[in-house]
Amino acid sequence: DTAVSQTPKYLVTQMGNDKSIKCEQNLGHDTMYWYKQDSKKFLKIMFSYNNKELIINETVPNRFSPKSPDKAHLNLHINSLELGDSAVYFCASSQDRANLYEQYFGPGTRLTVT
């Protein structure tokens, strides 16, 4: 059974389009995260939700909007895609926000904007 899953695995789209990435975890964790990893492998936190409540919102363009319909799901919607949005986006979860050190990562979504 996949602990943290993301769809799609690959996403190729043109500038200006709107796209969504979905994430689901079946670990019963309370906290979920979105990270962006650029071409230089730099992994940077974007958002974190704890029990459907937004607790971390780093400096990210407001074209990015996370949504957590329940604590097992955290989706990421991106409006008006730009070339610089090309990266691998990882979803992760942890038991709760206090136990954030052991984060389980999804397989990643490689987004390419052309």
Task: Report the nearest approach of other proteins to the CB of residue 65 (Å).
Answer: 19
Between residues 59 and 62, which has the closer beta carbon with respect to other proteins?
59
Q: Is 81 exposed, middle or buried (0-12, 13-18, 19+ CB in 10 A)?
A: buried
CA distance 110 to 48: 20
- Structure-block tokens of residue 45: 């936190």
Residues that bind other proteins (CB under 8 A): 31, 33, 40-45, 48, 50, 55-56, 90, 97, 100-103, 105-108
Between residues 44 and 63, which has the closer beta carbon with respect to other proteins?
44
Task: Report the nearest approach of other proteins to the CB of residue 80 (Å).
Answer: 26
Task: Report the nearest approach of other proteins to the CB of residue 113 (Å).
Answer: 19
- Structure-block tokens of residue 93: 């979860």
CA 64 remoteness from chain centre: 10
